[in-house]
Structure 1
Amino acid sequence: MSSVTWKPYVWPNLCRATFEEFQEIEALWGVSLPEDYKKVAAMYQGCTPHPNGITVLDGTTGVGILLTVSTNSTMPEESVQWAYDFLREHIPPGLYPFARNIGSNYFCFDYRQTPRNPRIVFIFPEGEGEDAILFVADNFTRFLDSLKD
């Protein structure tokens, strides 16, 4: 993995996610989250990465926050479950958010074609159909490796 550093955003200090919290999300969504994601999110949920730039289509956007897994967040709108509830009627089944950009668009795991190793896609909630879903990386590790200044 690349040398990404993380700065707390939701809480003033790092707040670890528990094994049980990941299990709860996996049960609600009916998926197994990638192990590389769980390792990072367990330590850095609710944090912003540096570097945070990533190429999407022909441009660059910034990864604003790694959404929280914990339900005790002081900012519930920054949680994976809140984002999923917000997006689910606008996106196809099989897409699950894990990060937000510096605006209000989301990076999601795409389980539609690869249920054991989901790809990473970028979602424009205002978009229509597949045109609103842009490929970003083959997996979570490659997503982190793609971050740049």
Structure 2
Amino acid sequence: MSIVWEGANQPVTLQMLKDMEVKLGIRFPKDFVECVIQNHGGHPFPDVFDFGNHKGAVFGRLLSLDTNEFESVQRIYEASSDELPDGVVPFALDPAGNLICFDYVHGKQSDPVVVFLYHEFALTRDDFEDLTETDRGGLTYDEFLREEAIRPICGSFSELLSMLHEGDGEE
């Protein structure tokens, strides 16, 4: 099934994308770059995917690469930076405000995996510091977030797109 992108912003230049990579200290994967240049800010259809025990997750929209947009990669990253482990960069939202992110767990210049960040389980660093050692389970902040708030979706952006299907109410 092919994907139709609705509500996308005007295409961005490769230079704008490169500037974003420099600001974030990462390299976006090629498959994401090819899609986001034309479709940033857009909503895919179909838009439902399943991962792990989570059935019916919704790919809300790609974050914009335009830093003037409210829902841009940079603004969401900066607003969420105190709740993101090192190397986790949001690129999309679901309708409930959870983040679909790249996880550069193997290095910021490597190809990232795709993860889902449940915002209601993501503690700030200050909140984490307030936990007792027992509640922390001997974990560092990044380890705690990866265990409590982040779930793997798939190995690549292309794989995520291939997982999209129509939801029960849309068929």
TM-score normalised by the chain length of structure 2: 0.77
Deviations 1:98-128, CA, capped at 9 Å, x for gaps: 0001110010000012541100000012214
Question: In structure 1, what is the Cα distance between the partners aligned to 2:113 and 2:3?
Answer: 20
Map residues 1-149 of structure 1 onto 2, 5 A cutoff. 3-8=2-7, 14-58=9-53, 59-73=55-69, 76=70, 78-113=71-106, 115=108, 116-128=110-122, 129-130=145-146, 131-149=148-166
- What are structure 1's unaligned runs of at least 5 residues? none
What's the offset of the Cα at 1:57? 2.8
8 Å Cα contact 2:67/2:75 also seen in 1: no
Gap change, CA 1:50 and 1:101, over 3 Å in 2: same
More strand as a share of residues: 1
Amino acid of the residue matched to residue 88 of structure 1? S
Instruction: Give runs of ≥4 in structure 1 deviating > 4 Å.
Output: none
Measured on the aligned residues, the alpha-carbon RMSD in Å equals 1.5
Question: In structure 2, what is the Cα distance between the partners aligned to 1:125 and 1:93?
Answer: 16
Amino acid of the residue matched to residue 38 of structure 1? V
- What are structure 2's unaligned runs of at least 5 residues? 123-144, 167-171
8 Å Cα contact 2:67/2:73 also seen in 1: no
Question: In structure 2, what is the Cα distance between the partners aligned to 1:72 and 1:16?
Answer: 14
8 Å Cα contact 1:87/1:125 also seen in 2: no
8 Å Cα contact 1:4/1:50 also seen in 2: yes
Deviations 1:34-79, CA, capped at 9 Å, x for gaps: 1110110000011100000011332221111011012243xx1x11
Gap change, CA 1:114 and 1:136, over 3 Å in 2: farther
Amino acid of the residue matched to residue 71 of structure 1? T
8 Å Cα contact 1:91/1:125 also seen in 2: no
TM-score normalised by the chain length of structure 1: 0.88
More helix as a share of residues: 2
Question: In structure 1, what is the Cα distance between the partners aligned to 2:105 and 2:90?
Answer: 14
What's the offset of the Cα at 1:8? 0.6
Question: In structure 2, what is the Cα distance between the partners aligned to 1:71 and 1:18?
Answer: 13
Indicate the structure (1 or 2) with the bigger Cα radius of gyration: 2
Q: Secondary structure at the match of 1:43?
A: helix
Taking every aligned residue pair, what percent have the same amino acid on both sides?
A: 28
